Amino acid sequence: MDILSALPEITVLCMAMFILIVDLFIKPQNRFVIYGLAQFTLFAAAVFTFQSHTPAVGYLFSNMFVDDTLADVLKLMTYLGTSMMLVYTRQYMQLRNMFRGEYYAMVLFSMLGMMIMISGQNMLTIYMGLELLSLCLYSLVAFDRDNPRASEAAMKYFVLGALASGMLLYGMSMIYGMTGSLNITEIANAISELNAHNPVLIMGLVFVVAGLAFKFGAVPFQMWVPDVYQGAPTSITLLIGSVPKFAAFAITLRLLAQGLYPLAADWQDMLLIMALLSISIGNLSAIAQTNLKRMLAYSTISHIGFLLFGLMSANLNGFASSMFYISAYVLMTLAGFGMILLLSRQGFEADKLDDLKGLNQRSPWAAFMMMITMFSMAGIPPTIGFYAKFTVLQAAWQAGFTWPVVVAVLLAVIGAFYYLRIVKLMYFDDSIDHTPIKAPVDMQLVLSMNALALLLLGMLPQVLMNVCGLSVVTSLQ
Amino acid sequence: MTVFNQHLLSFAIWLPMLAGVMVLLLGSDQAPNRTRWVALVGAVISFLVTIPLYTGFQLEIGTFQFQESMSWIPAFNIHYHLGVDGFSVPLILLTSFTTVLVVVAAWEVITKSIAQYMAAFLIMSGLMIGVFSALDGILYYVFWEAMLIPMFLVIGIWGGPNRVYATVKFFLYTLLGSLLMLVAFIYLYHQTGSFALTDYYDLPIPMNAQIWIFIAFFMAFAVKIPMWPVHTWLPDAHVEAPTGGSVVLAAIALKLGGYSFLRFAMPIAPDAAHYFSNVMITLSLIAVVYIAFVALVQKDMKKLIAYSSISHMGFVTLGFFMFSQLGLEGAVVQMISHGFISTAMFLCVGVLYDRMHSRQIADYGGVVNTMPMFAAFAVLFAMANSGLPGTSGFVGEFMVILAAVKFNFWVGFLAATTLIFGAAYTLWMTKRVFYGEVANAHVAELKDINPREFSILAVLAILVIGFGVYPEPITALLQATSAEFLTHMETSKLPISNIPAVGI
């Protein structure tokens, strides 16, 4: 396998450093060049990823790094999500004096972290990617450094995040101790030969699952999610809430579905408890929120619960459906936070629920897009959110989780309530705020396509389902 | 033309939705007349394309006709599979016809966001026709759920003072039931590997699974019909909805539930349907008798009609679960007839409300003195609602009562009391609103109906009397289908080894 498989990572790394240097020599009014460079980097990475794609699974750097269909697809989705996020956040950052080169370099570095996680075939690679991502995110949360709320959020995120990384590392060390390897495939082979009820191995598994759950924001490791979502600048919340979930999903698959697959019976139970808790606590807490970002944070927690339903099925059907779920989730999150960014303006964060009042009168199109997003999050057909829930629930049913599926379905009704409230605010109430909505054309265009994609993929979900099924099958078999 | 003939149902579903999108694009509050005309043309064309379903229907065939099928989501073996039988054709025509009426009835009444209002009803019409013609579980579920969105908006945007409570209650009640139905579909999918309804019809299912499936479907459909005791969303939704919303809810949305019992719950789980038949008959009788008493004490006209709808829908479920051809056909005739009569009743209330902005019975009195023409129509529809012979309301109720007497005298007796109670609450309301002295200055100033209102009510009056005198056009459609249905229902679907153990 030649080094070209890692060309996207190399490109992103070089370009991020190049942006840092260029930024020193560029006048502030020409900073859009940096933005262009960042978008170009994503495009180039996408081209390289696409070109280097082969159906075969390739290993690189002494089996530390894997290049398979799953990695390629997830990376392409990550580029797309990051690119959309950069479009949505440009005006927001400009108006708040945060339109700086560091922002773009940092985003690219965090994305590099995600790419390494996605391609990690060794626990060390995975951990390195995760830390690169996390460190960038910590500092991005504090990017608006004079904002005390953001600093508080960054501090909380850092302390709890470091704890979670510690737990993950601790679990990895136990697994290494029992299996004598850090390589995912070798771990799986070693565990199959060991006694399944090896207490140290189980302890290691518990810590790994806890670390992963923390990164996802699943209950009972969800405490950081609402505070960070609310405290961070909306553009960073958009980043944290969207694309890193692809990377988290990838390492969960590599660790649980590949490396620790022989222990599936043990982690299935853990995921089941976390899934049910996440859906119930996420949905119930979301009802009480008045801050839109905080509400979406709790909504994320409940979505992660549904995602875990797919993962805990522990079969290819379940993994493919959770990949479908995460793709749908990222698209919905991008649209949801994109709308908050669209409504924000200088000195005004549209992050209260009441800021959405009467949106239908101010801009019927914006209200319509937000409505699609909300119904999609609630899982009402004909949106993609319905198929996302449907696929994970049928996978869990197939795996024998009959009652959890019924409970999850009932909890989804509670979830529908707070999404409906957003629709109510936009359509049934009169607006307090009559400021016209001003946004760059490219943002309006991309956001519209994003929301319409939720509807279109809801009517024709087959292509995305095939892509997810294919990547999971070729990479895990 | 061949494309048209082969995809008749697709046209019936997608044309109104396309018309809805066109209204959104072309219409605006600045150009209200253009908006209305686009909507009307769309609704009329959508109605016209459903007529070939009736004229081209082959009466002697009891299975699905006008079928279309193509692969939609191969990953889950989901098909875009449409087809109709004698149960669904009259309901589809009722849907597309009612949409035309709703558009006309809203003509000058709706002044806020006209385009969105018209589009919501056109899109809803397409979705409901989709429900009536889908033969694939997921396709059906998508139409069924998607229909909630426009209805939620219609009640919430154009409704009365307490509209938010009513519309959220409506949405969540329905969603709860529907999600349990989705679970039932997931179970059936893992048994058969497909979502095709015809596969489900042939699938043998053990008794305890049938019972759970029936309960899951029951939760979805009983809420929609609505049956006692899950009916409480309906009075709220009806009272708060704008006239068009009430009409669509009563005339069509309730029938979605009744139809779905025939299409899904009963044929998929026939043994459970027999097992629960006494429960269902009891619930139906409670709706017929108890809800009639509730209707009697209502002070709000719309609420009274809403309760009357629940009571009449009790006849529908009663007719289903006696498993006789007469009862079954009577129930379907009752669904169609109730579609016309409730539409007419709600439009009458709408006529009064547009003038007086009150739905309280106490605010009226002696309307006949100022609006004689309108009063004539209103009294006719009130008579039809109480089941006067010669109106369509009589035909369905009489068939069901006959079947009930044959089934069990006391069931028939209780069902027949509706002829008294129904007359009591409807005619008492009519008396208080229309007759007597002119109650107050507002009533004295009322103007009689204009040509637009006259034409809507006249069309409905012709239909109500026409089907009352000559119901053959509907019953002819039903015969082959109901015979086929009953044959299916009498065949046990239990796996062979189970039959002696359960004793059915």
Q: What's the pLDDT at B366?
A: 78
Q: Which two tokens stand for residue A136?
A: 């960038």
Q: Kindly determine whether residue B75 and residue A469, on different chains, have CB atoms separated by under 8 Å.
A: yes
pLDDT in tens, A73-104: 999 999 999 999 999 998 888 888 888 888 89
pLDDT in tens, B111-161: 788 888 888 999 999 999 999 999 998 999 999 999 888 988 888 888 778
Which of B141, B145, B186 comes nearest A393 by C-beta?
B186
- Nearest CA-CA partner of B344 in B242, B246, B239: B246
Residue of chain B minimizing CA distance to A378? B175
Q: Is the pLDDT of residue A30 over 60?
A: yes
Q: Are A253 and A319 in contact (CB under 8 A)?
A: yes
| CB < 8 Å from B in window 124-183 of A | none
User: Which of these, B135, B71, B194, B142, lies nearest to A459 by C-alpha position?
Assistant: B142
Per DSSP, the three-state class of B58 is: coil
Q: How far apart are CA B131 and CA B188, in angstroms?
A: 19
User: How confident is the model over A316-334, as a mean pLDDT?
Assistant: 92
CA of B450 vs chain A CAs: smallest distance (Å): 31
Question: What's the one-letter identity of residue A422?
Answer: I
Task: Write out the residue range of the structural domain in which residue A52 sits.
Answer: 2-476
pTM score, two decimals? 0.90
Q: Mark yes or no for CB contact B179/A466 under 8 Å.
A: no
Task: Tell me the average pLDDT across A295-309.
Answer: 92
Mutate to test the interface with B, among A420, A459, A472 (most CBs of B within 10 A): A420
pLDDT of B284 higher than 70: yes
Distance (Å, whole) CA A423 – CA A411: 19
Asked whether the beta carbons of B159 and B247 are under 8 A apart, the reply is: no
Using the beta-carbon criterion (under 8 Å), do B180 and A409 form an inter-chain contact?
yes
CA distance B184 to A437: 45
Q: What is the pLDDT of residues A374-384, one digit of tens each?
A: 999 998 888 99
- Residues of A with Cβ-Cβ distance to B163 under 8 angstroms: 428
Q: Which of B28-32, B47-51, B55-59, B309-313 has the lowest mean pLDDT?
A: B28-32
Query: pLDDT confidence of A66, banded at 50, 70, 90?
Result: confident
Band (pLDDT 50/70/90 cuts) for residue A323 is very high
Q: Is the pLDDT of residue A346 over 90?
A: no
DSSP code at position A313: T
Q: Is the pLDDT of residue A278 over 90?
A: yes
**Residue B190: which of A380, A390, A398 has the nearest Cβ?**
A398
Query: How many helices and strands in chain B, by DSSP H and E?
Result: 26, 2
Q: Is B149 helix (H, G, I), strand (E, B) or coil?
A: helix
> If 0-12 CB within 10 Å is exposed, 13-18 middle and 19+ buried, where does residue A65 land?
buried
Chain A residue closest in CA terms to B184: A406
Q: Number of folded domains in chain A? A: 1
pLDDT in tens, A165-179: 999 999 999 999 888
**Residue the block writes with tokens 């696409």:** A50
Amino acid type, B389: P
Tell me the C-alpha distance between B119 and B43, whole Å. 10
Place of tokens 């959508």: B46
What's the sign of the alpha-carbon dihedral B62, B68, B71, B72?
negative
The nearest CA of chain B is from the CA of A64 a distance in Å of: 33
End-to-end CA distance of chain B: 50
Region B29-52 average pLDDT: 86
Token pair for residue B79?
A: 């098909």
Put simply, whether A364 touches B (Cβ < 8 Å) is: yes
State how far residue B123 is from chain A, nearest Cα, in angstroms: 13
State the pLDDT at residue B501.
46
Contact A414, A284 (CB under 8 A): yes
Does the distance separating the beta carbons of B75 and A465 come in below 8 Å? yes
Work out the minimum CA distance from A176 to partner chain B, whole angstroms. 39
User: What tokens appear for B341 in the block?
Assistant: 């009569």
| Backbone dihedral angles phi then psi of residue B65, each to the nearest 5 degrees | -125, 170
- CA of B233 to nearest chain A CA: how many angstroms apart? 15
Picking from A380, A381, A394, the nearest residue to B186 by CB comes out as A394
